[in-house]
Chain A
Amino acid sequence: MNGLKKFYMNDKIVVPVFAVITSLFIAAIVMIMIGKNPLMAYGALIFGAFGTKGALINNLMKTTPLILTGLSVGLGFRAGLFNIGANGQLIIGALLSTYVGSKMIAYPFYLSIPLMLVTGMIGGALWAAIAGWLKVARGAHEVITTIMLNYIAVFIANYVVNGPFQAPGGVPKSPEIAYSARLPILATSGATWLSAGIFVALAAVVVVYILVEKTKLGYEVKAVGFNPYAAEYGGISIGKNVVMAMAISGALAGLAGTMQVMGVYYRYLGALGGSMGFDGITIALIGQNDPIGIAFAAFLISSIRAGSNQMQIAGVSKNIVIIIQGIIIFLVAANRLVKTFMFWKRKEVEGA
């Protein structure tokens, strides 16, 4: 029994931890080769990520949407779906919730905040459900359809904030949301602040964990993801669960966009999603599709990004961070390699 637990730990925790340590090590070698001092660089990285109150606030602020897009992609993976459309879902979610939020001037916060959250999630869910439906009804692969939907979402958003839903002044951005719809601010430092969005993201971690591990829906979604034939045999509808899984995945991405609106920009801006949708893929991989793992992975990615600026200032190119990230992904994706390696190690230890 104990052995079994260890076995599980191996897969889910040891692989990513091993990957992170190895990548830092390899990146250090690269830095030595280009004549930089890795200890100094990592010192700067850590300082840049956690060294000051401002750094930590900035870091956690950036972690918030990454947790959500990571959960979005990770949940898709659990259902055997490759949702590359988190970006599009995030945009649609943010756009819709902004619209609702901008109409909330006369409402108290206990109505406007939940309403915005819900519309953001519905927007993302519907957008993703289109891809789910296309897969079920037409057999169109979700990788293709979600990428196409990403483009469509970008163009819709560009049109809307340049026309019908443009703030006065001719700049491509939407009007602001109501004050009552802004998330409470937990801490500020200079021009950055941390909103209660981080709690929304952490709550989403718990909800997704419960959904995946404790509910009927989670059971069905995983069965479809692991073995659709057996799922069908067991009376589980593949179509329904594919659409559901896509919708929930999209809702999480939509929530990520909504957090950017409610906690950071207070309006819709074209740049608000950045590459978060794609970062979600990285994060889900590193977090082994496990909600708690994803939360850590999001914090990790956010930290090395946040720290990279400080590293740049210290004279080491911030692109080193891309190397680190690349190696982590490689090692996690090639987890067989890591496991085999660790297996040999263990055997040597036992043999000794």
Chain B
Amino acid sequence: MGKTDKKDYSEYAVVMEKIVKRFPGVLANDHVDLFVKKGEIHAIVGENGAGKTTLMNQLYGLLNSDSGKIYINGEEVKIKNPNDAIKAKIGMVHQHFMLVDRLSVVENIVLGMEPVYGPFFARDKARKQISELSQKFGLFVEPDAIIEDLPVGIQQRVEIIKVLYRGAEILILDEPTAVLTPQETDELFKILGALKAQGKTIIFITHKLHEVMAITDSVTVMQLGKVTGVVKTSDTNPRALARMMVGREVLLRVEKGEAKIGKKILRVENLHVNENRGLEAVKGLDFSVNQGEIVGIAGVAGNGQTELIEAITGLRKVEEGQVIFKGIDATNFSPKRRRDMGMGHIPEDRLKHGLVAAFPLYYNFILGKHDDPRFCDGEFLKISDIKKFSNALVKRFDVRPPLINLLGANLSGGNQQKVIVAREFSFNPDFMAISQPTRGLDIGAIEFIHKSIISMRDQGVGVLLVSMELEEIFSLSDRILVMYEGQIMGEVTPQETTTEEVGLMMAGHKLEDLRAQEA
């Protein structure tokens, strides 16, 4: 090896060279090259399962490459585990949070690097350091809250503070905005801007192309384990990026016809529900959903939407009021009974409720209907029928890789979501409670799922849709209810309202007050 071979990568914070990573049956990274300049915000985009997370996990030492090299600030480094990565000042916020549910915010953030007085944990010191950090970057969190009591949006903030606490100079954010509201996303972008201004380098994975356009400097596009394009953000546009990612034209907006409204299928009366800590989260809601319509619930995360959906689907106790399903008072029915009556549910947290990660896909595909005669004969599971059914779903919903023996945990985030959506759709429900259906999905998959939701509606299914994505609410809903602090601020239709008006309601203004002001 002559000296001339030595490459000069000194202008790059991160270079990954010819990275190969193979999983059983899948080539997740096929000679991937990634170049990230110092101080820039670099986007990685690509379809679900393209290998983005896998690539970043190698940079962070969670996975070891089969081959390839990594250079940090021009120097070749070997990153065998996250400790090596932290030493190289790399921090990562994962697509699925890696927090200890039972510990408090402070404990999670300092975990492994606790400030101490001699042998004792210096809780007050930790708390002070953290409140300084959160003030500096505008990331407010309640330091003593227990993680499992916090909504996903807040857990995300904890993750970001955790990385900053470890002194990261290079931040990897794997789909950070998938769980944030538009407002929170704006906040995050401000923070990222501030971090960039301080010279930090940021690698940002997202499926939302407008975000790529808004804050990044350059983009690497991946498809099926390979890099298919590297462009400067200023030289491209969402349409072109979409084409590079999917290899075809994508509809960025769904088309839908008039709703054919049928009978009332779900009615909620004076509903009161508590959150985990026993505080009231849903404060006396009244509304109904009819067959053949999509009712969207807009709101900032943590305003009672999670509790509302859990109460409707039977996962959470109703304190007061009623859930009437198909004319029957189902308030105290078990989740099973509601399912058997024709209620489907796409849950907000796919790894907590939606999947058994340690089950193979074919088991996950029947979760909730495992005792249906299609899948079991008396006490015995019809394994070969279940596999046939699963294979059909994998094909129809384009789950990648299409291997039904794979464990749920081994799918990429977007493909896990496809499994859940596929399952719930396949059960032919009459009513469907849907929470964040496209969180973490690529644009092609979003298009597919939006079309599927609309076709369900057209077949007469009543849909209750909770989403933090205003765009999703606007493009799918026939009616929109806006929730704020457990109450409904107003009901509007997408035609007669504006995002501004809904945004104001989400911030706690009642519709009647807004309309009165206008008049």
Contacts and interface: CB of A to CB of B under 8 A. Distances in A.
Interface string B282-316: 00000000000000000000000000000001010
A216 B386 CA distance: 12
Interface in B373-395: 376, 379-381, 383
B358 A227 contact: yes
A1 B359 CA distance: 17
B336 A231 contact: no
Residue among B337, B345, B379 having the largest count of chain A Cβ atoms under 10 Å:
B379
Given A215-B380, A226-B359, A227-B357, 4 more contacts: A230-B352, A233-B313, A235-B336, A235-B339
Contacts of B25: 1, 3-4
B370 A229 contact: no
Contacts of A232: 315, 335, 353
Interface string A225-254: 011011111111100000000000000000
B335 to A, nearest CB: 5
B356 interface: yes
B405 to A, nearest CB: 6
A336 to B, nearest CB: 13
A233 B363 contact: no
Interface string A328-352: 0000000000000000000100000
Interface string B147-189: 0000000000000000000000000000000000000000000
Interface in B310-348: 313, 315, 334-340, 345, 347
Contacts of B315: 232-233
B24 A3 contact: yes
Contacts of B335: 232-235
B376 A233 contact: no
Interface of B: 24-25, 64, 313, 315, 334-340, 345, 347, 352-359, 363, 367-368, 370-371, 376, 379-381, 383, 403, 405-406
Interface in A291-347: 347
A4 B336 CA distance: 34
A229 B352 contact: yes
A233 B353 contact: yes
Contacts of B352: 227, 229-230
Contacts of B380: 214-216
A82 interface: no
Given A234-B370, A237-B336, A226 B357 contact: yes
Interface in A3-45: 3-4, 6-7
Contacts of A7: 24
Contacts of A347: 64
B376 A216 contact: yes
Interface in A176-226: 214-220, 222-223, 226
Main SS class of interface, A: helix
B381 to A, nearest CB: 6
A207 to B, nearest CB: 12
Nearest to A225: B358
Given A3-B24, A4-B406, A230-B352, A214 B334 contact: no
A236 B336 contact: yes
A214 B385 CA distance: 12
Residue among B24, B64, B339 having the largest count of chain A Cβ atoms under 10 Å:
B24
Nearest to A236: B336
Given A230-B353, A235-B339, A237-B336, A223 B376 contact: no
Contacts of A231: 356
Contact of B367 (A1, A3, A216, A223): A223
Given A7-B24, A216-B379, A235 B334 contact: yes
A253 to B, nearest CB: 22
A234 B313 CA distance: 10
A235 B376 CA distance: 16
B370 A220 contact: yes
Nearest to B364: A230
Contact of A219 (B337, B339, B381, B406): B381
B381 A216 contact: yes
B355 A4 contact: no
Residue among A222, A231, A234 having the largest count of chain B Cβ atoms under 10 Å:
A234
Given A4-B405, A216-B379, A233 B24 contact: no
Contact of B403 (A4, A219, A230, A233): A4
A3 B25 CA distance: 7
15 contacts: A1-B405, A3-B24, A4-B25, A7-B24, A214-B381, A215-B380, A222-B356, A227-B355, A227-B358, A230-B367, A231-B356, A233-B345, A233-B347, A235-B338, A236-B370
A235 B366 CA distance: 11
Given A4-B24, A4-B405, A227-B358, A219 B370 contact: yes
Contacts of B383: 214
A230 B355 contact: yes
Given A3-B24, A219-B381, A234 B367 contact: yes
Contacts of B340: 235
Contacts of A226: 356-359
Given A232-B315, A235-B335, A216 B371 contact: yes
Contacts of A230: 352-356, 367
A347 B24 CA distance: 14
Contacts of B354: 230, 233
Contacts of A216: 370-371, 376, 379-381
Nearest to A219: B370
Nearest to B22: A3
A222 B368 CA distance: 14
A226 B351 CA distance: 12
Contacts of B336: 235-237
B381 A215 contact: yes
A234 B336 CA distance: 7
Nearest to A344: B64
Contacts of A219: 363, 370, 381
A339 to B, nearest CB: 13
B83 to A, nearest CB: 14
A186 to B, nearest CB: 32
Contacts of B406: 4
Contacts of B355: 227, 230
Nearest to A218: B381
Interface in A47-98: none
